Structure 1
Amino acid sequence: MAAQHKRRAEGRSDSSILAKITSSPIVSRGKQAASDAAFVSKKLLRSTGKAAWIAGTTFLILVVPLIIEMDREQQFNELELQQASLLGAPPTGPAHK
């Protein structure tokens, strides 16, 4: 019976120590810092996503048509070189593959 009473007293002291630790200012500051860090991370992730969307759509609208046009120009130049060589004219530029 005395052993049970002693265990109950130890259980109360454990819970009171736990209560003191969780209500300490250090723990509350840590929780606040973690909450602030999560908030900033969420905002940063959202703004990074928006910036990636803007960069991606700008690339598709401006750069991809430029690349396609440059490829067409290169194919056209190669075709002119082939036709000139078939007609017997000396090549005007180096042919590369």
Structure 2
Amino acid sequence: MAQIGTFTRDENGAYTGSIKTLTLNVKASIKPCDRDNDKAPDFRVTAGAVEFGAGWSKTARETGAEYLSLTLDDPSFTAPVYASLIQGDKGEHKLIWSR
């Protein structure tokens, strides 16, 4: 797993930062959204006006730590990217990639 982004959280629960991969280098926002059913995401991931991901609030079974489970997709990707947004040092949140 590799870190592909760094974010900070504001007082409204939204995250702002950047995502960098081999094909992306964008400033992104992860904002809470209204859910219309149990499977709907808790967050939407956008770069400017383009939505390219969704996120769900999760709690780690072993540690009880809260994190966001994200799915990112872009036409330049061969498959969706799955990532976790976890709290790091000094209020920073790290976006960790997995597939």
| TM-score after normalising by structure 1 | 0.13
Higher helix share: 1
Larger radius of gyration: 1
When you count strand as a share of all residues, which structure comes out higher? 2
**What is the TM-score of this pair, normalised by structure 2?**
0.13
Higher RCO (CA < 8 A, seq sep 6+): 2
